[in-house]
Amino acid sequence: MQTLPLAVTANVARIRARTQSMIMAVVKADGYGHGAVTVARAAVAAGAGWLGTTSVAEASALRAAGLAVPILTWLHPSGIDADAAAAAGADVAVGSVAELDALLAQAASTVRVHLHVDTGMSRGGCPRGQWDELIALAWRGQQARRVRVVGVMGHLPRADQADPAANAPAVVGMQEAWQAVRAAGLRSPLAHLAATSGTLTDRATHFGMVRVGAGLVGIDPSGTVEMHGASRLTAPIVHTTAVPAGTPVGYAGAHVTDRATHLSVLPVGYADGIPRELSPQAGVEVRGRRFPVVGRVSMDQIVIDTGAQSFPVGTSATLFGPDGEATPTIGDWARWAATIPHTIVTGIGPRVKRSIA
């Protein structure tokens, strides 16, 4: 199995083969559950020239870890702290006239900003009807040396479809926004629109930079490119018992054994990020074989049916990993839970011990 840094390195190389644009490594949600600093260091070492976070606090943590490349933060759940952004040397995205106005009111020194425009997501970013007002305010702020506009950004609402025609309206919108910013005298800021799916499937979306998050840890939302899995989740068997046919398993006896078999308990449950609603195909790997998860997922435990085999306490089971074969993947768990791989890796709870191979 590849180590986490090697997997991230391989994924950045796969991204680089698809684009000539700069690469931003987005390490929000603690590096998609894999450790923001570890993923960031590996991505930068592999050639990523920028980092992306949700908050200035996350950017500050990366700076404290010694990462010196440009960092952009764009969600600001607690608002934009201009002083903290300046202290961290972090760029901030502003997605509304009100947000930029508030930033200008508090900025004691020049803050580097990216104008965040809505290119079809309707989920943040300045609405098209207010672009002129935002750009004019940004120009005044730049003249007053409170901000410096260095970027324009948007999002692709349909990139996962891996269809350039679905991306075309957002591409046109980004082109129009970038041209409007230039026409206002704000020079030629860096434009960026694509995340992992757009990067892998549509060069027209790349502009000057692409923002890759899920792809760093082996997830391609478009399902078109095989990436390198970056994580493994294991748990020890803590209890094993032999049961006859007709034995109910777990709460409400949602599963009943149809034969004499062995059941083993793993000490992970929905409090640890194991999806509670799973299809009957869900399973884990033990000693090279896959065994089904049976009964309801509990807060702290799941049960697997190991058939004729009885495993001693302490035997390691692999819930997911990059190996293939009997080992389930993150994608398998996403299918079993009728969700996306992102929710699997970001949902692993704090009780699960992390280690970096």
Domain boundaries, the chain: 4-217, 233-347
> What are φ and ψ of residue 351, in 5° steps?
-70, -20
Q: Is 353 an annotated catalytic residue? A: no
Residue 222 pLDDT exceeds 60: yes
Say whether 1 counts as a known binding-site residue.
no
Residue 89 pLDDT exceeds 50: yes
Q: What is the pTM assigned to this prediction?
A: 0.94
Q: Please tell me the predicted confidence (pLDDT) of residue 72.
A: 98
At the fourth CATH level, the homologous superfamily of domain 233-347 is Lyase, Ornithine Decarboxylase; Chain A, domain 1 (2.40.37.10)
Q: Please tell me the predicted confidence (pLDDT) of residue 313.
A: 98
Domains 4-217 and 233-347 share a fold: no
Residue 239 pLDDT exceeds 90: yes
112, 118, 132, 145, 305 from 104: Cα distances, Å: 11, 21, 17, 10, 61
Q: Please tell me the predicted confidence (pLDDT) of residue 1.
A: 43
The mean per-residue pLDDT over the stretch 196-200 comes to 98
Instruction: State how beta strands 22-26 and 209-212 pair.
Output: parallel
Q: Please tell me the predicted confidence (pLDDT) of residue 2.
A: 61
Burial degree of 295 (CB within 10 A; 0-12, 13-18, 19+): buried
* Tens-digit pLDDT profile for residues 111-126: 999 999 999 999 999 9
Q: Is 251 an annotated catalytic residue? A: yes
Q: Which of these is catalytic: 32, 251, 270, 353?
A: 251
* Tens-digit pLDDT profile for residues 289-312: 999 999 999 999 999 999 999 999
Check: CB of residue 47 under 8 Å from CB of residue 38.
no
Check: CB of residue 342 under 8 Å from CB of residue 214.
yes
Of 76-90, 160-174, 286-300, give the lowest mean pLDDT range. 76-90
What would the CATH number be for the domain defined by 4-217? 3.20.20.10
Q: Which of these is catalytic: 28, 32, 270, 353?
A: 28
Say whether 123 counts as a known binding-site residue.
yes
How high is the mean pLDDT of the chain? 96
Residue with token string 């090697």: 6
Instruction: State how beta strands 283-286 and 289-294 pair.
Output: antiparallel
